[in-house]
Structure 1
Amino acid sequence: MRKKSVAGKAGKMSPMQALLAALSDDLALPLLQVKSNLEVLENDGFSKKTTRSSVEQMLLSVENGLQLVEAYKLTLRIDHSIETLTFEPVAIGVVLQDVAHQLTPYAKKYATDLQVDVSGKLTPVLTHQPSLHIAIQILSASLIRAQTAQVQQKRYRLLLGARRSSESVISTGVYSSIEGLSDKTLRSARSLAGQARQPLPSLPPGAASGVLIADMLCSSMWQPLRAAAHSGMHGLATAIPVSKQLQFV
């Protein structure tokens, strides 16, 4: 496992410090949403109808914030070699389906339809399942929020996809109608994290840290995120080697 140095140069944040700074900015969004919902409840006299709707919104906001915190903690443990990456054969389709199922209530809040597209009969990949799952999860949640803020329409679509990109590699990622995500903007975001309030200017406030944390988790396993396309949609994906230990028949 590659271990990243956490010793920053004078006047410059280490990668983990920069990531924490980005996370701190983005956590303000779910907290503000909770505050706003509480104010609505108070102004409405805590009526039963308004209370139920607001509580559901607050729970989703809190859950999203907690997912970001847990993802950052996992990244920190990996960076400090506290968490050992155990690689094993994983069915990528199962991971994508699990993430889609867990995020369905959150996606519904943003009028987004989640779809899973696994092209062909894919060999299991060799990866650290917890890191892959949480990386896809927080990346998806970030793009759900970003898409609804960038494009105004009645319904949205988010695609979790996987396909074989070569004989021994499977490309896995999240795709949407968001514009402005490229390898260049990702490289810039990595260097701007912790220095700019919006290291990914193509994404709205509150969405960048999820992308950056997912990027670091993917880097700790195999490859960082890259701009990619799948079924006519554009997004971010990572390359994962197929497992030679097991194949589905």
Structure 2
Amino acid sequence: MAKISGAQDRLRANPQDIGALVDLGTLLFEKGPASYVEAISVLEEARELGALDPKIFYCLGLMYQEEGLYPFALSEYKRFLRHYPEDKEVRLLTAKLYYRLGMLPDALSEYERLKFLNPKDPIIEENLGLSLWGNKHLDRALASFGQLKIYGGDFARRAEFYLGQIALDAGKYQEAADHFALCGAVNAELPGIPVQRVHTGLGMAFQKLGRWEEAKASWETVLKAEPKDSKAQSALREAARRLAAAKKAALKKK
């Protein structure tokens, strides 16, 4: 608080003291999200007066992102990277915002650069695979997710989910079911991916394979997590109907 008071005293003496504005803004930023709105106002004023300290761009980028102002955050990160082009943290934040904003070619370009500089980083590998998939470079996406499996743990489990979804989209239903089962989320949470998404994939694959009992169980699990999911409700009714018909037909054969 003493440092903040000191910066405020300097501004009372000279409201256009750029250094004091930068100091006050960054100190407010360091206080945390509750002070972000005030910090943004102070740092924006400093920039309007001609401040060029790159930490302004970094702080504003993080705060804009926290406030949900993603295009503004992206602009600040790009300004920061002009000064520090190899900064891994900010380049990763930039890539993630490109992806979030649907700017997929730009996201891919950033992740390719990050992968070149950090060839053994599983976080970068995972996001590179997602960007390749989003840009419809399926062969390269499959290779990337194959690499991701090597890291083991949750990275490998999520890779199985992505591979399962790609197989499902391609009509390779047995392959999809195998990948979804291998992702290990049938009986455990998969960090970063809601468990109902795994069971939705399993349910769709099992339905296409005519495995109605397994499809029914998958849709029941989806509805435990999302009771109002109308598509899952409809799919469960269909799976139950098909299962009952199959059992009835089996009894007639005896």
TM norm. shorter chain > 0.5? no
Q: Which has the higher contact order (CA 8 A, sep 6+)?
A: 1
TM-score range, shorter chain: under 0.3
Larger C-alpha radius of gyration, 1 or 2?
2
Which structure features the higher share of strand residues?
1
TM-score (normalizing by structure 2): 0.25
- With structure 1 as the length reference, what TM-score do the two structures score? 0.25
Which structure features the higher share of helix residues? 2
